[in-house]
Amino acid sequence: MNGTRPYWSPYVAGVALGVTLLATYLLMGFGLGASGAFAQVAARLEGAVAPGRAQANPYLVGYLEAGRLWAQWIVVEMVGVLIGAVLGAWTAGRFAWRLEKGPRIGVGRRLAFAFVGGATVGFASRVAQGCTSGVALSGGAVLAPGAWAFLGCSWPAGSSPRGS
């Protein structure tokens, strides 16, 4: 595409992300997250579709009793992430409606893999109490031991599927 800005140096992006994360810690007392927003939405979906089941689940009740969805910090933050990502792509001349996929995989298979991969990541983020953002990034920056165990395990595990 003509007029597309190149990506920033990863170190520039990393420093900018670090400043954002530091500012969040200073203003809020906690860091950035992502998967928690999906859990907030999922708990309310189950609460709407199967209220009895949701109320009987102590894990989901915690979310249901947190109050309105739009008053949850992580939900508002994730809406911001979507806006920021679109802004970044748009102002760089990169915004387009397309499916990112490798050359050898079909659209159906790509979407199926994305769905299974997404569900796997979602499940894993509940087991670990967070994902790449909330545990690895934010936890890593405050030297939480569990964050480093999470980081150390996710990298080799991600490398294994290609071998099979």
- Touching another protein, residues 44-73 (CB under 8 A): 71, 73
Residue 102 structure tokens = 């490798």
Residue 122, H or E segment? helix 107-127
The residue range among 38-46, 47-55, 57-65, 76-84 that interacts with another protein, by the rule CB under 8 A, is 76-84
| Contacting residue, 4, 15, 53, 93, with another protein by CB under 8 A | 15
SS3 38: helix
Q: What is the DSSP letter of 40?
A: H
Segment lying near another protein (by CB under 8 A), choices 41-49, 51-59, 94-102? 94-102
Residue 12 or 45 having the CB closest to another protein: 12
Q: What are phi and psi of 139, to 5 degrees?
A: -70, -40
Segment lying near another protein (by CB under 8 A), choices 12-20, 41-49, 55-63:
12-20
Q: What residues have CB less than 8 Å from 31, skipping those under 6 apart?
A: 21, 24, 25, 134, 137, 138, 139, 141, 142
State the Cα torsion 161-78-39-134 to the nearest 10°.
60
Selected range binding another protein among 38-46, 55-63, 105-113, rule: CB under 8 A: 105-113
Nearer to another protein, 60 or 137 (CB): 137
Q: Binding to another protein (CB under 8 A): which residues in 106-135?
A: 110, 113-135
- Most distant CA pair in the chain: distance in Å? 55
- Choose between 55 and 81: whose C-beta lies nearer to another protein: 81
**Position 97 contacts another protein (CB under 8 A):** no
Q: Which of 4, 30, 45, 53 binds another protein (CB under 8 A)?
A: 30
